[in-house]
């Protein structure tokens, strides 16, 4: 596929890839900082998200096939119903950790700069904000 064709579908492609699995991955990452600590650089975060979306999608599909979920009544999706079960949610977290460990161990992703400010930059910003806000 040439780049002009890909560019034409960019606005469609991103939401299809990112939702709802992307929001689940993002939420669970936020709840488990140890995962973020493993995948902090630009290369590692890109690889992590790519493989996490695929593997979490497969896992959720397996859970759906293996477990009954209530009929849809408009209050929650089948994914939300599955993740209400603590063992299912833990299985997804375990899969995310496995992906993070595999990506972090891959030497092709070594040496990437962390995303976001370091602790010193955060401290400087807090000090600046304290002075500005009084």
- What string of DSSP letters covers 3-66? HHHHHHHHHHHHHHHHTTHHHHHHHHHHH-HHHHHHS-SHHHHHHHHHHHHHHHHHHHHHHHHH
Residues 7-62 have pLDDT tens digits of 454 444 444 444 678 888 989 988 999 998 888 777 788 889 999 999 999 999 99
* Nearest CA-CA partner of 28 in 93, 72, 77: 93
Q: What is the mean pLDDT of residues 125-133?
A: 86
- Show the CA angle centred on residue 41, arms to residues 59 and 104, nearest 5°: 50
pLDDT at 97: 96
What phi and psi, each to the nearest 5 degrees, are found at residue 37? -60, -30
Give per-residue pLDDT as tens, 59-117. Answer: 999 999 999 888 878 888 888 889 999 999 999 999 999 999 999 888 877 665 555 67
């Amino acid at each position: 596929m040439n780049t002009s064709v890909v560019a034409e579908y960019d606005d469609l492609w991103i939401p299809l890839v990112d939702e709802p699995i992307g929001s689940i991955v993002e939420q669970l990452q936020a709840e488990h900082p140890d995962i973020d600590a493993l995948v902090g650089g630009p290369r590692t975060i890109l690889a992590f998200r790519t493989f996490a979306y695929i593997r979490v999608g497969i896992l959720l599909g397996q859970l759906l096939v293996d477990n009954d979920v209530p009929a849809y009544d408009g209050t929650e999706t089948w994914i939300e119903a599955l993740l209400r079960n603590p063992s299912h949610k833990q299985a997804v977290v375990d899969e995310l950790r496995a992906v993070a460990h595999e990506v972090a161990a891959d030497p092709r992703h070594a040496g990437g700069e962390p995303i976001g400010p370091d602790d010193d930059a955060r401290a400087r910003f807090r000090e600046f904000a304290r002075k500005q806000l009084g």
